[in-house]
Amino acid sequence: MLKKTSTLIIAFICSWSLLSCDTQTAATSSADNDKKTKPSKLQKIKQSGILHVATRIDPTTYTPLPKGGYTGLEYDLVMLFAKHLGVKVDFQIPESFEEILQKTASGEIDIAAAGLTITAERKKTLRFAPSYHEITEQIIYRTGTAKPKSATDLTAGILEVTKGTSHVGSLQLLKQKSAPKLNWLTNDNLDSKQLIELLNNGLIDYTVADSNQAMLMRRFYPKLHIAFDISKPRELAWAMSANADDSLHKEVSEFFKRIKKDKSLKQLLERHYGHAEKLNYVDKCKFYQHQKNRLPEYKEYFMEAGEKYDMDWRLLAAIGYQESHWEEGAISPTGVRGLMMLTKDTAKQVGIKDRTDPVQSIKGGALYFHQRIKTIPKRIPNPDRIWFALASYNIGYGHLEDARVLTQKNGGNPDKWIDVKEFLPKLSEEAWHTKTKHGYARGKEPVIYVENVRNYYDLLLWQTNKEQQAQPEISDNNPNFIDKLFNTYFMIDFNKRLARKKSVNKAEVSDSSTPPVQSTE
């Protein structure tokens, strides 16, 4: 009897174990199947055909162009990645910097491409891609304010930064280490670009900007200056949600690995930053003065020529400024003359009888530049195609080809301006020009020429953008557009700021714990 009972117990235990194993196996199999059928983050993006990207409007990231389209390093990088994936991009501009971080962390946004600094705090909720650029954070001040030499000097004025940025953390660290009396305002409505505009208008005394942003913005605001760095070099990178699977992150990482290897990233950095520091304070001030006093007389002729040859009139105007500073009677020691500085042979080639006539000069210069573009090999895309055409306009196509040949023979890419501009100056060196078809040339000049034209073109784009924003179209559907633009874009009444600026005891400026500015006005 006892033996029989033992046998029954053993049989029961074995049956229960087998049943348990079957159940566990079934559960595991079900989980595996779910895992196999559930698409990854990357698969979802490819299936939908849309990549959702958060960014912000800034010269360093994403900027609308007057005639449609966009520019900016982040924009170009995202479009290149989207082309790699074979999808379209849905760019979103959140209302605040903090919202970019929040939407990305929650997974509402696939990628944040907004010039984000990698920080330990952000790593808690975000997964960063490999860095694509390195910057420092800098104190910016305006002409008329004494240059601060250290953090303690900042206590003598109003310092304001954007809430949620790494600038706040850098100031907190600075306060702890060396400037216990350092105080500042945080603003949760205005971004760093808008604070720079406040600084330019004299409504605050200091702000903080990343070095790449400061470099670009100072071209548009010549009265702004860099005081000193408040951070060590920091890395910029795209961010994704830390809660999502790593499929998208792996794809992004491979993408950056590839564009670093094939120099696409280096070329994009050169495109957006390579020419930005070539004009000094006097150059920029003189340009703005001439733009105000001289350009209006010739603007319509540049526009007509641009329309005729399907090119941006501002590019033609930039060429004209580089050539003559928009002086119709300009003449060089070699006999080149007129607003577009045409030679006799060039004038004859394009059918111009009077080089000193500004209308004829602009028409002739536009046609000649159009011809230069046509001579550049069709396989070379813009903007390199434009930079090569500009170099050819200055030095001649033959010498440009000599430099391209030298570039190729020495391992560079003859179709990339970033490579060819390194070899153009060598055309003035005997060891190099004796190996070329067309011989000696002052090769440094076309490099400077192209960089200057690019700068003048950027300044004209910026100014015309501002003019369009200042003159919005008012319709029955949007009668309060100007009020909305003023209150939404700047988020604050300038008169109140000005009154505070005059009356505030600067020694008692609110510190970082003070509520945002709009709450205290």
Q: Spot the catalytic one: 99, 137, 251, 323.
A: 323
Q: Write 413-416 long-range contacts (CB < 8 A, 24+).
A: 413/263, 415/377, 415/379, 415/380, 415/384, 416/263, 416/267, 416/384
Tell me, yes or no, if 323 is annotated catalytic.
Answer: yes
Rounded distance, CA 79 to CA 278, Å?
A: 28
- Sequence-distant (≥ 6) Cβ neighbours of residue 48 within 8 angstroms: 87
Q: Write 201-205 long-range contacts (CB < 8 A, 24+).
A: 201/494, 202/142, 202/144, 202/501, 203/494, 203/497, 203/498, 203/501, 204/157, 204/158, 204/159, 204/160, 204/497, 204/501, 205/141, 205/142, 205/145, 205/156, 205/157, 205/158, 205/159
Among 97, 182, 113, smallest CA distance to 148 is for 182
Among 109, 89, 43, smallest CA distance to 247 is for 43
- 101 and 114 in contact (C-beta within 8 Å)? no
| Strand extents, DSSP E, 230-333 | 234-241
Helix (H) or strand (E) holding 364: helix 358-375
| Greatest Cα-to-Cα distance within the chain, rounded to the nearest angstrom | 127
Rounded distance, CA 56 to CA 218, Å?
A: 19
CA 226-229-230 angle, to 5 degrees, is 130
| Exposure b/e, 247-284, CB count within 10 A at least 16 = b | ebbebbeebbeebeeebbbebbbbbbebbbeebeeeeb
- 159 and 142 in contact (C-beta within 8 Å)? no
- 209 and 192 in contact (C-beta within 8 Å)? yes
- 224 and 200 in contact (C-beta within 8 Å)? yes
CB atoms within 10 A of CB 358: 21
- To 10 degrees, what angle do helices 313-324 and 444-470 make? 130
Rounded distance, CA 281 to CA 24, Å?
A: 74
Token pair for 159:
């310092």
Residue with tokens 């490099």: 447
Active site residues: 323
